[in-house]
Amino acid sequence: MNDTPRTILITGATSGLGLECARALASVPEVRLLLGARDQARGDALAAGLGALAEVVVVDLASLASVQRALERLGGRALDAIVCNAGVHEAGPPTFTVDGLETTFGVNHVAHQALVTRLEGALTRHARVVVVSSGTHDPATLEGRANPPAAIDVSALATGREGGLPVSAIRRYTSSKLCNVLFARELDRRLRAAGRQVTVNAFDPGAVPGTALTRSWSPAMRLLVKSSWVLRLFGMAVSTPARAAGALARLVVSPELDGVTGRYFQLETERAPSTTARDPELAKALFDETERLLRAKGFPAPAT
Averaged confidence pLDDT in the chain: 90
Element (H, E) at 162: strand 161-162
- Listed in sequence order, the residues at least 6 apart from 177 whose beta carbon sits closer than 8 Å to its beta carbon are 108, 133, 134, 136, 137, 149
pLDDT in the model for residue 303: 81
Which residues, listed in sequence order, are joined to residue 200 by a DSSP beta bridge?
129
Query: At a CB cut-off of 8 Å and minimum separation 6, what does 146 contact?
Result: 234
Amino acid code (one letter) for 32: R
Number of H helices, E strands in the chain: 12, 10
Give, to the nearest 10 degrees, the angle between helix 280-296 and helix 111-118: 90
How many CB atoms neighbour CB 268 within 10 A? 11
Verify whether residue 173 is a known catalytic residue: yes
- Centre a 10 Å sphere on the Cβ of residue 38 and count the other Cβ atoms it contains: 18
Tens digit of each residue's pLDDT (9 = 90 or more) over 276-293: 999 999 999 999 999 999
* Predicted structure pTM score: 0.90
Q: Which of 173, 234, 264, 287 is catalytic?
A: 173
Do 38 and 63 contact (CB within 8 A), yes or no? no
* pLDDT tens, residue order, the chain (304 aa): 445 558 999 999 999 999 999 999 999 988 999 999 999 999 999 999 997 689 999 999 999 999 999 999 998 899 999 999 999 998 899 999 999 999 999 999 999 999 999 999 999 999 999 999 999 999 987 767 788 999 999 999 999 999 999 999 999 999 999 999 999 999 999 999 999 999 999 999 987 665 544 444 344 444 444 444 445 445 556 778 899 999 999 999 999 999 999 999 999 999 999 999 999 999 999 999 999 999 999 999 998 6
- Look at residues 7, 5, 73, 79 and name the one whose alpha carbon lies nearest to residue 40: 73
